[in-house]
Amino acid sequence: MATILHRFNRLRLRYAFQLSSHAVSSTTAAERAKGDRVFLGCQTLCRQHRGISGGAGEVRCLPSAAPPRLPFSCVTDEDLAFFRQLLPGRAITDPDMLESSNVDWLKSVRGNSEVLLRPRTTEEVSQILRYCNERNLAVSPQGGNTGLVGGSVPVFDEIILSTALMNQVLAFDGVSGILTCQAGCVLESLSQLLEERDFIMPLDLGAKGSCHIGGNVATNAGGLRLLRYGSLRGTVLGLEAVLASGQVLNCLATLRKDNTGYDLKQLFIGSEGTLGVITAVSILCPRKPRAVNVAFLGCSSFQNLLETFQCCRGMLGEILSAFEFLDASCMGLLEKHLKLTNPITECPFYIVIETAGSNAAHDEEKLHNFLEKVMASSLVTDGTVATEDAKIKALWSLRERVTEALTHDGFTYKYDISLPVEKIYQLVTDMRQHLGDRAKNVVGYGHVGDGNLHLNITSPTKDPALLAAIEPYVYEWTAAVQGSVSAEHGLGLKKRNYIYYSKTPEAVGLMGNIKAMLDPRGILNPYKTLPDDLRLPSTPTRPSPMTSGHPQPLQDPPR
């Protein structure tokens, strides 16, 4: 490596990168809980109406982004008595303790739930849901509450069903690398446990310190390693879910291959808790790489960045584990709000490349050849490489903490868009031009390797006129190039009505049918994922959308 270092230096690649004291700290839930609050402002008068079955009259003030409260029952003293007897000390009604579960990580959605249930076992989840279904009580399943689309908090007074205490590892097979665990295991704890056994989790996210694996699977979280290990749709081998009726569906297979009919687990992966509550998962985990290198590089144009990506795939091939980017505006926010230091000279675009392999010398040689090539051809103008753990973390934090930096920049409009890779930055450029000086900052970053752009737009305060300029422009732009309006964050509460930009009415109608079959009273995570035109009032005999007429989109789909 010494020779390589020397040769890189000749190529103006600087290794000696002073770690900023801010650079390696990971964000804790408590840190995240600080900051400005911008709520949608929904409240119900349910408390005063205890025992009276619900209705639109219970809603005191409707949030602009949420539909009216559906006529679910309100929690009564008898209900509380049942929950307290089922979960002694784990049926929480103290408003202070409920506070953080009622608010999402971005502080943009606030529910008004009065009950937080913390089961430990699948059987307890089953009893809770059986009871809620019979009583027509709505339930908001919650993992680490790190989602970005308002999917993990109640909208009104839904009961919060937390997986926090379901945090047991059930089995790990050191030959196959298959991990089986309860849904509430924190991703970072699983990573640590696996690393001790020479394996890693197939996914990695900025929110790893707080997010739960059950929530990751329920939202089909993507993250930083998807390029290498694929999506959870491939690495999740099995799962256990509790249906709205309380029935436990055991699909907790630990087989690589199983072609016995429909792959039912796929229904729950990415369904955001609307079809069932995931209680356990089995996941195929890769071996821990023996050598990891991270390169932080600068490019003078997005075209050069794309060519660097192509070259990178060709030359690093099987050892490439991540190819991420951020633009100069993101770097500005990291420096300004988090006091992180840019380790290289200023550039319009920055790339984080990670290699993960089994032979350090071989990997370093490959990386060296690649760097020499992209430097010589001026695709890359500056860069630095880390092989040591602390430096790797510091370089990664420049990519992972952009979301955190944005929270300090004002009100943020967030878009998680899937696009053909060559178009991912065009949307940022067009949006900047389209908005002119109406926005404070328009930034782009994300997962180049997956064609996934995170377009974020900030303004000093919440600004309806700015929002009207962004939407539907952003969705129409996306649909025009056959992109997806949600690449990896899901639809949740915030994006549910934009589904038609990426799915046909027939596909959405079928989703409605599946929802009606698995959760006929609609108690599971209501107001989320499915668009409002499919969400029929909660009744014991809820008709199927297919039998009640062809579903119509809320707004004209662009294609």
Ligand X SMILES: O=C(O)CC[C@@H](O)C(=O)O
Binding site for ligand X (CB under 6 A): 148, 206, 403, 414, 416, 446, 454, 456
Whose Cβ is closer to ligand X: residue 127's or residue 397's?
Answer: 397
H-helix or E-strand containing 328?
helix 328-338
Q: Which residues pair with 295 in a beta bridge?
A: 353, 385
CB of 454 to ligand X, least distance (A): 4
Whose Cβ is closer to ligand X: residue 109's or residue 243's?
Answer: 109
Whose Cβ is closer to ligand X: residue 240's or residue 416's?
Answer: 416
CB of 339 to ligand X, least distance (A): 19
- Write b or e for each residue in 236-262: b if 16 or more Cβ atoms lie within 10 A of its Cβ, otherwise e: bbbbbbbbbbbebbebbbbeeeeeeee
Whose Cβ is closer to ligand X: residue 72's or residue 325's?
Answer: 325
CB of 416 to ligand X, least distance (A): 6
CB of 137 to ligand X, least distance (A): 32
Whose Cβ is closer to ligand X: residue 58's or residue 409's?
Answer: 409
CB of 206 to ligand X, least distance (A): 5
Whose Cβ is closer to ligand X: residue 343's or residue 449's?
Answer: 449
CB of 79 to ligand X, least distance (A): 37
- Using alpha carbons, list the distances in angstroms from residue 284 to 173, 263, 264, 266: 10, 16, 18, 15
Contact 65, 492 (CB under 8 A): no
CB of 456 to ligand X, least distance (A): 5
DSSP string, 472-530: THHHHHHHHTT-BSBSSS--TTTTGGGGGGTS-HHHHHHHHHHHHHH-TT--BSTTSSS
CB of 502 to ligand X, least distance (A): 17
CB of 220 to ligand X, least distance (A): 12
Rounded to an integer, what distance in angstroms lies between the CA atom of residue 218 and that of residue 275?
Answer: 10
Q: Token pair 């996941």 is at which residue? A: 283
Contact 79, 122 (CB under 8 A): no
Contact 87, 118 (CB under 8 A): yes
CB of 450 to ligand X, least distance (A): 10
CB of 486 to ligand X, least distance (A): 11
Q: Which residues pair with 381 in a beta bridge?
A: none
Whose Cβ is closer to ligand X: residue 386's or residue 406's?
Answer: 406
Q: Token pair 């076992």 is at which residue? A: 121
* Secondary structure letter of residue 157 according to DSSP: S
Helix (H, G, I), strand (E, B) or coil at 147: coil
- Amino acid letter for position 181: C
Rounded to an integer, what distance in angstroms lies between the CA atom of residue 170 and that of residue 425?
Answer: 43
Q: Helix %, strand %, coil % for the chain, to 5? A: 35, 20, 45
Q: What is the 3 state secondary structure string of 252-306? A: CCCCCCCCCCCCCHHHHCCCCCCCCEEEEEEEECCECCCEEEEEEEEECCHHHHH
CB of 53 to ligand X, least distance (A): 39
* Secondary structure letter of residue 13 according to DSSP: B
Q: Which residues pair with 324 in a beta bridge?
A: 352
Whose Cβ is closer to ligand X: residue 160's or residue 224's?
Answer: 224
H-helix or E-strand containing 327?
strand 320-327
Rounded to an integer, what distance in angstroms lies between the CA atom of residue 97 and that of residue 110?
Answer: 14
CB of 189 to ligand X, least distance (A): 20
H-helix or E-strand containing 417?
strand 411-418
CB of 148 to ligand X, least distance (A): 6
Alpha-helical regions (H) of 377-424: 389-400, 402-407
- Using alpha carbons, list the distances in angstroms from residue 7 to 15, 116, 377: 11, 58, 16
Strand order in the sheet with 178-182: 169-173, 178-182, 277-284, 236-242, 248-251
Classify strands 441-447 and 320-327 as parallel, antiparallel or unpaired. Answer: antiparallel
Rounded to an integer, what distance in angstroms lies between the CA atom of residue 107 and that of residue 455?
Answer: 19
